[in-house]
């Protein structure tokens, strides 16, 4: 197995773990954590492809990963702000109980 395949497998596993968590947990914050894990797995893929790709000096994969880290930080801030705001409104972060569109 080439090193790149190893990294891709780990990234795929991490992505699936994050997906499973995002789909099965009740707590909205943990769903966000799952999404963060999926984003991070994608970053690992980007860096691994940059490292073992034909043109590492072009820095494409690395730049993509750095921008992705920045976007993920913004996503986490807004997502957690939303969770806090929902908790203030509905007094719960349990996603199974947030089943009404009415305020």
Partner 1 sequence: MGHGAFSSGLGKGVLPMSLVFYLIAALTVAGGLASMVLKNTVHCALALTVAFAGLALFFLNLDAQFAGFAQILVYIGAVAILVVFAILLTKGSETPKDGVFSRTWLAGLAVAAAVFAVLGWAILHTAPMLPGATPAPAVTVQQIGQALIGRYVLPLEIVAVLLTAALIGAVIVAMHEKEGTK
* Interface positions, 62-101, toward partner 1 (CB under 8 A): 62-63, 65-67, 69-78, 80-85, 87-88, 93-96
**For residue 24, how many other CB atoms are within 10 A of its CB?**
10
Does 9 engage in binding with partner 1 (CB under 8 A)?
yes
Does 26 engage in binding with partner 1 (CB under 8 A)?
yes
Inter-axis angle of helices 60-90 and 28-52, to 10 degrees?
180
Q: How far is the CB of 101 from partner 1 (least distance, A)?
A: 18
Which phi and psi (to 5°) does residue 69 adopt?
-65, -45
Does 42 engage in binding with partner 1 (CB under 8 A)?
no
């Amino acid at each position: 197995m080439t090193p790149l395949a190893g990294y891709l497998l780990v990234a795929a596993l991490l992505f699936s773990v994050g997906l499973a968590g995002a789909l099965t947990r009740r707590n909205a914050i943990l769903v966000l954590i799952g999404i963060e894990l999926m984003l991070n797995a994608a970053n690992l893929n980007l860096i691994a492809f940059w490292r073992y790709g034909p043109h590492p000096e072009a820095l494409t994969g690395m730049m993509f990963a750095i921008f992705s880290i920045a976007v993920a930080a913004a996503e986490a801030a807004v997502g957690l702000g939303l969770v806090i705001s929902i908790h203030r409104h509905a007094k719960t972060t349990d996603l199974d109980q947030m089943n009404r569109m009415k305020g």
